Structure 1
Amino acid sequence: MPNLLRPALLAASLLVGALPMTQALAADDPYTWMEEIEGARALDWARAENARSLPRLQQDARYAGLYEQARAIATAPDRIPGVAFAGGDRLRDFWQDATHVRGLWRETDLAGYRSGAPAWRTILDVDALAKAEGANWVFAGADCLEPDARLCLVSLSDGGKDAVTVREFDAREGRFVEGGFRLPEGKHRFDWIDRDTLLVVTALSPSESTVSGYPFIARLLKRGQTLAQAREVFRGERRDGGYGVSGQVFRDAAGRVEAVVLDRPIDTFSSEHHLLLGDRTVKLGLPLRSTVQALSAGRLVVSLEADWPETGMKAGDLVDFDLAAVSRAPQALRPDLVLRPTESQSVEQVATTRDRLVIGLLDNVRGRVLSLRRTATGWTSETLPLPADSTLTVTSASKDSNRLMVGASAYLSPTSQWLADAADGSTDRLRGLPPRFDASNMVVEQNWAVSKDGTRIPYSVVRRKDAPMDGSNPTLLYAYGGFLVSQTPAYAATPGKLWVEKGGIYVVANIRGGGEFGPRWHNAGLKLDRMRVYDDFFAVSEDLVRRGYTSQRRLGIMGGSNGGLLMGVALTKRPELYNAVVIQVPLFDMIRYTQIGAGASWVGEYGDPAVPAEREMLMSYSPYQNLKAGQPYPTVFIETSTKDDRVHPAHARKAAARLKALGYEYIYYENIDGGHAAAANLNERAVRQALEYTYLMQRLMD
């Protein structure tokens, strides 16, 4: 799930009255034993399914070539490094290739990087670490203390799980700090206060985790203390939804702490916001549907995901507050407007440099980057000169200068990397990805389908120019449709090479539930309105057939996580529309989902099966409960990962088991590692992609 990646309190019935209901559900479900994530019986079942399914794909003559092409793209030495500012002119990057499939964390300087021939210094070799420790380590990031970024908290995941082990690391010396900060495996939230103090949100026992498995107690941990000795500064409640308490530490260019904000999520999209003042916290008078985004020029910048009627502010607005006034009167907040997007726009990113507030804006699913400067009369704004008709992503912002790293991408244009200065407005192209497929005979089109309620839904089509419009084209439709996550144009390296080059059409739908047009686009598909998301997807599917791009015989669909749920709904609601369905790491049992893995944290998105009206809606589309005998289901491909501690593999396992019991053909792949991405390293990613496209060719091209 996204950040996935925060809005209604878990109903009291979920906590007080849920036990009889869940017991009844378990009694009616013969596959609840699959919910033991690494239970011997479940793993034996998964291995047997892999042994049955994988030869069907891997013995296809096309599989080996697809794997090599996918692996070549994933491990190409001429990929663009994902560099980030690390104090002064230093840049850091996490790099994976054919030799270092787990990856190298490394460093260079800006001058060397700009020259095109940087001298990289390895900070940490994760392949070597995994070998030395006999562990299946996946690098999950490093949080470094500004401004010099020498002391870092390195997160290591076992096989790709969300839960991580955290160790303090000296990036200058290239070694773990002896006797340094260390957190055992868990779903922690943490940040530096100073070199001897951490803000840590973690669970010392199961009772300190929410019903969805996230910690809700914040502590200040001093160097040399155990977690049990750390001083508690804030706590939520066990019944809280969402992703647990989290904290943000805002600093000035010199690294001094200006403010610490703690968020207590009430459910998936609603949070209380608290300001840490010394040894105490005060609650801020912000609406629950809001997100504290940044601190710039002494102003606390907040995005609104719902209207704030008493102030006149609207959902989608970016507003700010004087930090000194917030500290004096935290409940009496009056916002000033920073930016109000139009109906076609959405604020996608908010970042800060030393002197500027930076906004990544979507306009009709195309990107712009704005640089804002605070004056005596408010904010002034300019658009940075970056590639048009592209997705623009601020990948790093320097706190001790005004420099930005920006990625630019479009479906047929290889990704480029830009160095921008938010103060003087200059931009400089640093890198360009070499083409991964021949796009000379390809075109991108944006079309609009009309959903059941009359809403126009945009979608993008990537195809060969000579593709006949007679319904004969093998077509892959991808969508997500949830959690305010936007599907924006991105260089189609893998689908371009493995699919479009070979005569297929690739389509991305911008259905509701996403964030392409701001909170209104997301809010339109929440809870009792969930069918709008699926109606949008069916409308795009039908429009592809109506326009002659494809036909049912040649139309396949793919989606993961929340998108995997979408695939399950499409399978059970409209099986006659599709001949191939790739269901990646899905949600599937929406009646028991709050009892499985981190499911209770998503009640704000889907609704609560303990609330009768919401349960009725969930039951109407829950794929697991709606699988029936005698339906025209195509042979589906279901894939998951044993290490996925976010969307539990039981969803995929139970889907396959029920299809089998009903007598349907299906293909199942469970990666024993891989986490929520279903791939723990580059080789595993290539395997997954080769399996998917082999399946799609068998179903849609043969």
Structure 2
Amino acid sequence: MNKIILSAAILLAGACTAQDDTSIMTNTADTPSVSSKADLSFSSDAHLFLEEVEGDKALEWVKGENERSLARLKTDPRFAALEKDALDIVNAKERIPYGSVRDGFVYNFWQDETNVRGLWRKTTLESYKSDTPVWETVLDFDALAKAEDKNWVFKGSNCFKPKNATQWKCMVSLSDGGKDAVIQREFDLASKTFVEGGFATHEAKQGIAWAGADTLLVATDWGDVDGVASVTESGYPYILKRWTRGTPLNEAQTILQSSPTVMGVWPMTFELEDGRVIQSAMEAESFFSFNYWLFPEDGSEAVKWPIPKKSTPQGVYAGQFLLTLEADWDVEGQGSFKQGDLVAFEVNAFLESKTLPSVSLVMRPKERQAIGSVSLSKDALLISYNDNVAGKVMSGDLVDGEWTFSPVALPDNGNAGIAFASKDESDVFLNYEGFLNPDSLYAFDAKSGEVTLLKSLPPKFDASPYVVEQFESTSKDGTKVPYFVVRAKDTAMDGSTPTLLYGYGGFQISLNPSYSAFTGKLWLDNGGAYVLANIRGGGEFGPAWHQAGLKLKRQVVYDDFISVAEDIIGKGLTSPSKLGIMGGSNGGLLMGVMFTQRPDLFSAVVCQVPLLDMLRYHTMLAGASWMDEYGDPDVPEEREWLEKLSPYHNIDPSMEYPEIFFVTSTKDDRVHPAHARKMAHRLQDLEKPFLYYENIDGGHSAAANLKESANRRALEMTYLMQKLMGSSAE
């Protein structure tokens, strides 16, 4: 994104899908979509001790449930084989080393069985394009963790090189155990060492952006300010400061002080062709509504960018400031632009006048299309977009004042995307994958339009027995909902196929076709079928598809998922006794709602790092930041709806439920592990069946390293096999 050092990425990560690389026709006429009254008769206070993340009593309960559940799953004869296959996959040498290009070198982060925490490494561009690149270690995170006695998890690097300079400035982000809270340290790429006396921050949820060779914009937890905490109710910073090299962090100059009532503040910068760095910030009033601030070069008072609150800056290309629109925009005297459009205006004209210049349309998606991402290279503007859920890429430029685009020649019926592009580099890498097509990496020459295959993974399972199909179900309100089915070609359509249905449905995040060795090797090859549901709440068809399921309208998300489940049952692919579902984070909430609303529809539920207590979610960790998505429990009308929705509060003591498997992490500082803990304990109180696994490390992914990731996948697949394929271990 044009060297937009947009720390705002943490916002979008705030409710990641974690699309796991796995990922009856009963008469429902008299079955209400939502329970008419939440079961609030029980005392939820009895479970509040589980909100103390590392409290002795809470961890004692966690360890007891871990021991009980692992004893069953790990003694299943299939577990060892599944874990071995999963370890072979995560430790495979045949992986595409995706990376970033800097001055003729490709930088890559790599993990394997030897480098569990990973290596940050580099190779020349020429070597990278060969079949056997020669890598040079830049930073060994296993060695660093051992030396400092920390469970360091690499969370990325933020690098900047001033115009006409020869050296890169980098900040390395490190998390203890996988938390969202990190420390950041300045790192010298040339000497491959941390800079002595360089920039370094304390642990916090934070955002930084380079504003020059010796200046950072920093938003972090500054401690109490005049007796008031300097983080919002969501746990994010609301004070932004400019930090100059050689001065203590606590003496940094405040340039924006928002309010504890907003969601948070993050810095962002844009580098222009002449080397100037535009210093800006994003002030999130809520998850989907932002004020964008400019800090003028002359040190004068901050100015708001004259753009809608529901829009996203995408960078500066050919002197044009680009942004995508999440809502219609009526520009006075210039006409209207539509939700989903990519538009632009001349950036220098704004910087001089501080008023909105003439706005032009760059791209308008067609029906059943949506812009996915916008990337900038030295020679082209690149757009990845969904076309009926398939991912495609187009390349464009501004010629004589007109934007022109052409499609990039990549395979159809899969997911094509932009793996790397930078405004400072002509080299562009694109990638393509499909459910049955392993990842491929392509070099793209924007000047000629030529696409060259660089690397392609060997298949991790034999795809020849399988077929991919796309269908549409009809939701309760008549909306057509697309979904993909991956199954054996000779599948008997008699309802006997064990089937895993994956969904997410939130935060405008799209689920596209993707290649998963885990799905293929651990599930398809063992006789299962896989279904991916593209339900509302996601971004498959742009902002409108997402906004159709916000707050009080959210039941449509769940109706969509139910319609997909009923459609695959109606087609004879599977049946309730053979149908399992899986989802994480917001998808974990989806699992909880399906569990309480339609327990008759499936026999297995994998509920990963979920939200489940929707009456207290806004009080726990980053929960308050998601009220734009779900609603505010302190607003009576929205609380009334959330009472009907909240899985924790809608467990019916008289109802028979399928056994559910909760997977979470103690170190998840985004979605509180208490959600899974409390609902599991509620089921325990009612003597309802469940399994529970809480990884002591792992953050929001519930896995801190490759070995733990393989273990988790093997546990989930063992459970699914027990429930849908039968087991002598039960």
The question of a shared fold, defined as TM-score above 0.5 by the shorter chain, is answered with yes
Partner of 1:5: 13
2:146 to 127, 131, 136: 131
Change (3 A) 1:26 1:106: farther
Output aligned runs, 1:82-481, within 5 Å: 82-86=98-102, 88-146=103-161, 150-205=168-223, 207-241=229-263, 244-252=264-272, 256-278=275-297, 279=299, 280-310=301-331, 311-481=335-505
SS in 2 for 1:208: coil
Residue 252 of structure 1 deviates from its aligned partner by: 3.9
1:2 Cα offset (Å): 7.5
Deviation at 1:28, TM superposition (A): 4.7
Whole-Å Cα distance in 1 between the matches of residues 448 and 701 of structure 2? Answer: 39
Distance 2:697 2:515 in 1: 27
Q: For residues 120 and 649 of structure 2, what CA distance do their matches in structure 1 show? A: 45
The correspondence of residues 587-666 of structure 1 with structure 2, limited to 5 A, is 587-666=611-690
Whether contact under 8 Å (2:346, 2:357) holds in the other structure is no
Aligned partners of 1:296 and 1:355 also within 8 Å: no
SS at match of 1:30: helix
Say if 1:574 and 1:642 are closer, same or farther in 2 by CA, change over 3 A: same
Question: Given that residues 386 and 540 in structure 2 are in contact (C-alpha distance below 8 angstroms), is that contact kept between their aligned partners in structure 1?
Answer: yes
Query: Which moves more between the two structures, 401-410 or 434-443?
Result: 401-410
Q: Residues 128-151 of structure 1, C-alpha deviation per residue, up to 9 Å, x if partnerless? A: 111111110001111111265632
Matched residue type, 1:142: S
Q: 2:684 and 2:41 mapped to 1: Cα distance?
A: 20
Amino acid at match of 2:60: D
* Cα distance between partner residues in 2 of 1:620 and 1:606: 12
Deviation of 1:258 (Å): 4.1
C-alpha contact 2:153 2:177 (8 A) present in aligned 1: yes
Indicate the SS of the match to 1:500: helix
Map of 1:53 onto structure 2: 69
Counterpart CA distance in 1 for 2:503 and 2:551 is 19
Is the Cα contact below 8 Å between 1:353 and 1:401 reproduced in 2?
A: yes
CA distance in 2, matches of 1:696, 1:108: 42
CA contact (8 A) 1:297 1:355 kept: no
CA distance in structure 2 between the partners assigned to 1:28 and 1:67 by the alignment: 37
* C-alpha separation in 2, matches of 1:27 and 1:612: 21
Percent sequence identity over aligned pairs: 49
Distance 1:289 1:367 in 2: 24
Which whole-Å deviations, capped at 9, do the CAs of 1:518-545 have from their partners, x for residues lacking one? 0010000001100000000000000010
| Distance across 2 between alignment mates of 1:573 and 1:80 | 42
Higher relative contact order (CA 8 A, sep 6+): 2
| TM superposition shift of 1:625 | 0.6
Shift of 1:104: 0.3
Q: What do residues 322-347 of structure 1 show as CA deviations (whole Å, max 9, x unaligned)?
A: 11222234344542111111121010
Q: Does 1:68 align with 2:84?
A: yes
**Preserved contact between residue 486 and residue 515 of structure 1 (Cα < 8 Å):** yes
SS in 2 for 1:184: coil
Give the C-alpha shift of residue 260 in structure 1: 2.6
- Which amino acid in structure 2 is aligned with residue 109 of structure 1? T
Q: Could you tell me whether the CA contact under 8 Å between 1:371 and 1:423 is conserved in 2?
A: no
Q: Residue 688 of structure 1 aligns with which residue? A: 712
1:677 aligns with 2:701: yes
**Equivalent position amino acid for 1:274 in 2:** W
Residues 216-259 of structure 1 show CA distances to partners (whole Å, capped at 9, x for unaligned) of 11111111211211011112211002xx21122112467x2342
Q: Give TM-score, length-normalised by structure 2.
A: 0.91
**Amino acid across the alignment from 2:66:** N
RMSD after superposition:
1.6
3-state SS, counterpart of residue 658 of structure 1: helix
Q: In structure 2, what is the Cα distance between the partners aligned to 1:385 and 1:507? A: 28
Shift of 1:312: 1.0
- TM superposition shift of 1:3: 4.0
In 1, Cα distance between equivalents of 2:723 and 2:434: 28
Contact 1:25 1:592 in 2 (8 A): no
Task: Map Cα deviations across residues 303-356 of structure 1 (whole Å, 9 max, x no partner).
Answer: 100111344111101111111222234344542111111121010011111232
C-alpha distance in structure 1 between counterparts of 2:191 and 2:273, whole Å: 24
244-253 or 533-542, which moves further after superposition? Answer: 244-253
Q: CA, structure 1 residues 251+291, in 2 after alignment: closer, same or farther (shift >3 Å)?
A: same
Counterpart Cα distance in 2 of 1:2 and 1:273: 16
What is aligned with 1:529?
Answer: 553
Map Cα deviations across residues 434-457 of structure 1 (whole Å, 9 max, x no partner). Answer: 101111110000010000000000
Gaps of 5+ in 1: 7-23
Aligned residue for 1:17?
Answer: none
Q: Distance in 2 between matches of 1:283 and 1:178?
A: 37
Number of aligned residue pairs: give it. 681
Structure 2 spans left out of the alignment, 5+ residues: 1-8, 15-39
Residue 211 of structure 2 contacts residue 277 of structure 2 at CA under 8 Å; is this kept in 1?
no
Shift of 1:44: 1.6
Looking at structure 2, the residues matched to 129 and 413 of structure 1 have their Cα atoms a distance apart, in angstroms, of 37
Return the offset for 1:402: 2.5
- Contact 1:446 1:460 survives alignment (8 Å): yes
